[in-house]
Every structure is written in C-alpha cells, then in structure tokens.
Amino acid sequence: MSTISNQDIERHYFEHFRKAYSLPTGVIRYSDSPDVIIEGDRRIGIEITNFYIEKGELSESRQVQGKFRKEVLSKAQQVYLNNSAKNIEISFGFNEAQPIRNKTSLIDRIVDLAKHIEEFKTGEITKGVYRSIPELSFVYLNDKEYEKPEWRVVQVYDTPLLSRNRLAEIVIEKEKRAKKYQNCHEYWLLVVVDFINSSQDQEIQIEGFEKIQSNIFKKVIVFKTLFNHILEAT
C-alpha cells in the first residue's frame, strides 16, 4: 500500500479550498516552497500549513496526547487478551484536563478496569467504577465477543474558539522560512483547520476578528474543511 505524502495531503486541501474560494485567473501548479503557484498576470505563491491548537512539541498537546492514547489502548488490550478469554470491545474517552504522563501506570489501571467490567452488560460504565483513573472521562463496553475486538478512542472534547494569538504564532513561524520560497509577485498563507482532527478542530470567528499583520504574506486565509468556513485574517 502506497504512503500518502505531505504533498498529497496539501493538494487534497487545496482542491477543496479552490472550490470554496474565488482565486485569481491563472494556471495552478503544485510545487514546493511555496506549495502552490498560480501563474497568471501576477505570480502568486501559496504556502499551506495546518492550524494545530497547540504546539506539537508540548507533551500536553492534543497531537502528542492523541498518540499516547492510541499507544496506551493498544498495549492495554494486548496485555488484557494475553490474560483473558473475553474478546470484548471497549471505547474510551480521555479527559483533556488530565493529560497522560505515565503510560505504564495507565496501561496497568486500564487492564484492571477491563477485568473488572468484563462481565458487565453492554452500555456506558458509570464514572464511579473508574474513579481511580482520572485520565478517563468516558467508558463504553460492548459485551458481544468478536474474533478481532477493538479498543478505541472516542473523541470527548469541547470545540474551542480560534485563537488569534496562536494564528499569529503560525504566521511568524512561516515568515521565518520565506527566504526559501521561489520568486513570486506575492505570497499567501493558507492555514487549514482539519475538523476531523481533534488537535486542530476549532470554531472560526469571523465577525469582529482583529486582523493580523504580515510583512511576507499579502493574504493569510484560514480554511476549515468540510464546512468550508473561510476567514481572511489579514
């Protein structure tokens, strides 16, 4: 199976964006640094990036926590199945206010929880049953046994309002790389909010948004996938 490249993802985003936004007339060429070039009366370079709510290097960020959650559940299920004959399925929601800091400890506690509830009937597990696991906010058991049962993460979170300060940080980060861009008459920055990704999903406030200044990008545009919400931030 072929791997999807960053260029493929960027092209996917842009193809959706161009259907929702009126672009200048010209030939569209996919490139690198910037990611898209429109060859028309003026040569416009468009750089594409994702709008992560938090910086990815922070251990508390949704990007990192999302990886931790999948790792923890995968390992916990392996341990559980090695010591149990019940091929049950369990869905887990995680508490944003209690980030995972000790994966080994959490794996052990989730395995103990699974053993405790394995004879329960299908349904949501009351929070009192897992009060000793503050990292969890939701647990749902499916007592039907499957040949290949799946323990999965379910998204339980509030959708925050777009942060102007975080957007300004993203713009500054991209401006620092502008020296590598191909020569163009002007540059745009397309900041994509991929709604399906909890580390990006946020509400775009259009009315009353205080514009952002950029010395490099003539336009900074925020685009939320599926909903086609568009904010011209400059």
- Model pLDDT for residues 49-75, shown as the tens digit of each residue: 999 876 655 667 777 888 899 999 999
Average pLDDT of the chain? Answer: 91
Residue 204, token pair as written in the block: 């775009």
Boundaries of every domain in the chain:
6-53+160-232, 62-154
pTM confidence score: 0.66
Residue 137 clears pLDDT 60, i.e. is over it: yes
The Cα-based distances of 84 to 73, 74, 122 in angstroms read: 16, 15, 18
Interatomic CA distance for residues 49 and 58, integer angstroms: 19
The residue-averaged pLDDT of 41-47 equals 97
User: Sorting pLDDT into bands at 50, 70 and 90, what band is 110?
Assistant: very high
To which residue do tokens 């990704």 refer?
197
Angle formed at CA 72 by CA 67 and CA 78, multiple of 5 degrees: 130
Residue 181 clears pLDDT 80, i.e. is over it: yes
To which residue do tokens 């990192």 refer?
64
The residue-averaged pLDDT of 130-156 equals 92
Peptide bond into 134 cis (omega under 30): no
2 versus 204: the higher-pLDDT residue is: 204
228 versus 84: the higher-pLDDT residue is: 228
Query: In the prediction, which pLDDT does 51 show?
Result: 92
The residue-averaged pLDDT of 166-191 equals 96
Nearest in space to 200 (alpha carbons), one of 48, 62, 101: 62
Query: In the prediction, which pLDDT does 195 show?
Result: 84
Contact 96, 160 (CB under 8 A): no
Task: Provide the greatest CA pair distance for the chain.
Answer: 70
The residue-averaged pLDDT of 200-212 equals 88
User: Sorting pLDDT into bands at 50, 70 and 90, what band is 1?
Assistant: very low
To which residue do tokens 């004879």 refer?
119
For 101, residues 6+ apart whose C-beta sits below 8 A from its C-beta are 59
Residue 155, token pair as written in the block: 């998204």
Query: In the prediction, which pLDDT does 53 show?
Result: 76
Query: In the prediction, which pLDDT does 156 show?
Result: 65
The Cα-based distances of 204 to 52, 95, 168 in angstroms read: 13, 24, 15
Residue 219 clears pLDDT 80, i.e. is over it: yes
